[in-house]
Structure 1
């Protein structure tokens, strides 16, 4: 209240109260509900700080808790697994695109050899695909991982990779190696906040003691992590949004498990109606008495009791009726927090049909696409260094390489295809997309993890071998056409695997036996959706 409100309230308390009430009403109309501090938001205090200032004090704790859940929580691993399986999966296949077919094959052959663990890993323990799977996992749990390019002998090329965990960055370093730079969290930055060097903590083999850190130039380091704010300098665990919910679900399941174990127990109490002898208790009953010490109930047991003894059974009843629904809700929220569906998190398809499962896969693939793009940047830099090392080592003879490096760096990586939910429907959808020009044969081959040139060569090789060696004409079978007057012509009914003329690229190729039958209605689903 200001001085005027004080005077008005002193002269007329009613007028002062009315004035204050109107001020509060107007204040509510000028502000966000999410910004007030009244009853519903009481105790919710947050401040605006730079990303590094916000992350610095929680980074190590969140990472440690995420690692603890990774070691002990099945639900945590059910979230990490889909990212590892879908981003790397069975592995990534290189397709060189230099414009020279022979050179492409030579590069791809050399790359395949280099990707073996003895050639690409400085420790000789992991192949490149295994390194990439580990990198995706460490990014989800730790927030990131560090690739270091090492130039050493002992492999097919003098180039290998060494991996460091993010907590090996020496945060105790504060003095920059170059004047005018700054060191934050073990990384040296220039005035534009671009990293120029990394201080890596060194451990002895027992992992207990440290020795002097080493300095790595940024040109030899690939820091794989997600940057979510311009002021962010280092990593933060991708699981930070969901670790508390995962722990809650784990603690709930432990409590339910203990409760169920207790309720499953059967106890027997012996109630003695006739007390033992003593002063004021009368005389003891005649005959021998039995003791029940150490006795347990066994199947088919017949046991005579003492005179006057009575059995009272404690048989706890009850069950965790709400546990399943609670855990299902938690898994939905955990999956949503990571951008994937409940089915991907829980591996529960009981409530899914073909359409909902396919829509879920499409949405999930968009989440994985972000990780694909980030990992592709890492692979591009590794591949370019691989090419340079191969040229310098004489493994590749490219005369004009230094004049046209971008041409020889051109490449792409493909992943082997996933198994289809409904192969017949997917095959019809692929055929329709090809025939209507929505996709090319090259695109379809890439989606199936195949080199389109090699796929055509394989088709021609099969047809030629069948005709020349065994006198069998497979052209119509593979191309989906019948032979008329020496030529292949379209059938009256659309064939299962595509149509065209002899000598042309087939409209579509069967990926699995018996998956190329025409479905009524055509299109992607081949008709109305149905529950699977």
Structure 2
């Protein structure tokens, strides 16, 4: 006797069936009691079982197990979409523009101005030529690393301890490896307590101690005899692994993974709709009523080498039948195309965590208030990624390598140098209003001048020193600038007294001794 499962996930078992034969009321009471007991055990509707959720397949596997199986295919599909799908390419570019922008800049923070200035000078000289391949600088490497993290899920930065150029005395270069370089098929358990899982080696405490990587890209199409197919071990101290952790996991996945199916389906639908429109456009009209043998078709008769008829469609064709009247073809209108496209693109933008307006450049769906509210939430996400992922996992590691290399070369006195990071500032939607807000917050004491300057990505000392130089030049030329608070008030009027005169006026004649 088969059991029937209801929407509540409680089956009508054989006990109820037998009891129903003797006492239907008792069978119903027993079944109701079973349902009540099941409700006590399962208080969440999302955990209910039944025919409405039969097609919902879930698994309690670990994140590493899921990534081990699907990670490679997800990377391949996402890269294909970024290459060939405009929405995917724009979404990735928007994320890179906002997370990295013109660069995440470090400043030494030892508390000693002269030492900080010296270290910053070494960094500027080294960061301009730190790329092992000689293509870009530190900011370019950061942008490429973040792009690879978003598109492929992982990025590996390798420390190469060698002298870069004569213009940089720091013996260090940085080389970036894509996620494919990691030997995901490498597994091993040693008797000493170390283990290797998907190419990452751990000690007995679970800390990463090494990466097994291919020197050459496994997908390289160069001649096989020039490539190295065997992975080699690289110490974890020489590797910076950049990826986003959404669970307790060892590797990352492409950011647009939730939108992969939607992107592909939208692209297929657009191609199908375009083909349908082209097919409709091929047939302009039909000539009817013309005398003939009735053998004329819609397409002109073309035969191949075997004498078989070939039919083809071309734009502007007429179909001939018996008769002389012409009936023009009227292609059918597809209703709701725009609405359906917008709905799908909203799903895709949510999958990439990018505002719809930024991904599509369609501002018709947003006004000033909604656009600003959406940008505020997007910027919170960007700041979280900057300070929780990119800076600690990539930028800070490279700064530590730089300081260690500079200390080894005898350029600085210690290998550990405190640092302050300054991500690029966000462009204001309403610059005047935001500037007024910053000014009021600073004057009220809710914020400080160093915080306001750092928020814009600048260094306090550099800004003040530059301001002193500019004001000195203005004084020498006899210029009175509206931005000079020594001589002009906030509303643009001349100050009644200069700062020096004000100090003299308030100074007592007989100061207390």
TM over 0.5: yes
Residue in 2 aligned with 1:212? 230
* Whole-Å separation in 2 of the counterparts to 1:124 and 1:327: 43
**Does the CA-based 8 Å contact 2:95-2:354 persist in structure 1?**
no
For residues 501 and 320 of structure 1, the distance between their equivalents in structure 2, rounded to whole angstroms, comes to 74
For 2:268 and 2:236, the matched residues in 1 are separated by 43
1:186 corresponds to? 199
State the secondary structure of the residue aligned to 2:156.
strand
What is the aligned partner in structure 1 of residue 247 from structure 2?
229
2:305 corresponding residue in structure 1: none
Structure 1 residue matching 2:362: 3-state secondary structure: coil
* Pair 1:243-2:260 in alignment: yes
1:343 lines up with 2:357 in the alignment:
yes
Counterpart Cα distance in 2 of 1:411 and 1:111: 12
Checking the alignment, whether the CA contact within 8 Å between 1:201 and 1:212 is kept in structure 2 is: yes
Cα deviation for residue 413 of structure 1 reads 2.3
Displacement of 1:446: 1.2
* Runs of 4+ displaced beyond 6 Å: 1-4, 496-501
Query: Which ranges of structure 1 fall in alignment gaps of 5 or more residues?
Result: 278-293, 299-305, 505-532
For 2:315 and 2:278, the matched residues in 1 are separated by 18
Structure 2: which 5+ runs fail to align?
Answer: 1-11, 295-311, 501-513
Structure 1, 21-30 or 217-226: larger mean CA deviation: 21-30
Say whether the 8 Å CA contact 2:96–2:143 is kept in structure 1. Answer: yes
CA apart distance, 1:3? 9.4
1:412 Cα deviation after fit: 1.7
Structural mapping, 1:7-86, within 5 Å: 8-28=19-39, 30-31=41-42, 32-86=44-98
CA shift, 1:4, in A, is: 7.3
**Cα deviation, residue 312, structure 1:** 2.3
Q: Deviations over 1:49-69 (max 9, x none)?
A: 222222221111111111111
Give the structure 2 partner of residue 458 of structure 1. Answer: 466
Distance in 1 (CA, whole Å) between partners of 2:371 and 2:359 is 13
Compute the TM-score of the two structures, normalised by the length of structure 2.
Answer: 0.80
Structure 1 residues 174, 496: CA separation in 2 closer, same or farther (over 3 Å shift)?
A: farther
CA distance in 2, matches of 1:480, 1:329: 53
Q: 1:206 to 1:34 in 2, by over 3 A?
A: closer
| 1:368 aligns with one of 382, 386, 404 | 382
TM-score of the aligned structures, taking structure 1 as reference length: 0.78
SS of 2:466's equivalent in the other structure is: helix
- Is 2:157 aligned against 1:147? yes
Q: Do the aligned partners of residues 104 and 274 (structure 1) sit closer, same or farther apart at CA in structure 2, a change above 3 Å counting?
A: same
Q: Residue 310 of structure 1 aligns to a residue in which SS?
A: strand
Match of 1:327 in 2: 341
Displacement after TM superposition at 1:79 (Å): 1.7
In the TM superposition, 1:439-458 aligns within 5 A as: 439-458=447-466
User: Equivalent residue for 1:90?
Assistant: 102
How well do the aligned residues superpose, as a CA RMSD in angstroms? Answer: 3.2
* Residue aligning to 2:182: 169
> What residue is the counterpart of 2:297 in the other structure?
none
Distance 1:251 1:12 in 2: 58
Which is further off, 330-339 or 25-34? 25-34
* CA pair 175-432 structure 1, distance change in 2 beyond 3 A: same
Distance 1:266-1:47 versus aligned 2 partners, 3 A rule: closer
- Structure-to-structure mapping, 1:73-152, within 5 angstroms: 73-116=85-128, 119-152=129-162
1:460 deviation in Å?
A: 2.0
